[in-house]
Amino acid sequence: MNRVQEFRKERRITQCQLATAVGISRNYLSHIERQHAVPSVQVAFKISDALSVDIDKVFFDIKNSAEVSYPKPIKFIDLFCGIGGFRYASDIAFKKLGLEGKCVFSSDIDKYAQEAYEANFGERPVGDITKVEAKSIPDFDVLFGGFPCQAFSICGLMKGFEDNTRGTLFFDIARIIKEKQPQAFVLENVKNLASHDNGKTMQTIFETLRDELGYHVDYHLLNALDFGLPQKRERILIIGSKKPFKMDWNFKIDKKKTLDDILEKNVDKKHYASPEIVAKRKSMHTATVTPSIWHENKSGNISSYPYSCALRAGASYNYLLVNGERRLTPREMLRLQGFPDDFKIVVSDCQTRKQAGNAIPVDMVAAVIERFLTMAF
Can you tell me whether residue 208 is helix, strand or coil? helix
Contact 320, 293 (CB under 8 A): yes
Contacts of 12 (CB under 8 A, 6+ apart): none
Q: Are 152 and 192 in contact (CB under 8 A)?
A: yes
Pick the catalytic residue from 81, 103, 149, 309. 149
CA distance linking residue 377 with residue 374, whole number of Å: 7
Q: What is the Rg, in whole angstroms, of the alpha carbon atoms belonging to the chain?
A: 22
Sheet strand arrangement including 216-223 = 101-107, 74-79, 142-145, 184-190, 234-241, 216-223
List Cα–Cα distances, 244 to 71, 203, 214, 217, 247, in angstroms: 18, 20, 11, 9, 10
CB 182 within 8 A of CB 190: no
149 is an active site residue: yes
Q: How far out from the chain centre does Cα 16 lie?
A: 23
Find, among 28, 22, 25, the residue nearest to 374 by Cα: 28
Q: Which residues are catalytic?
A: 149
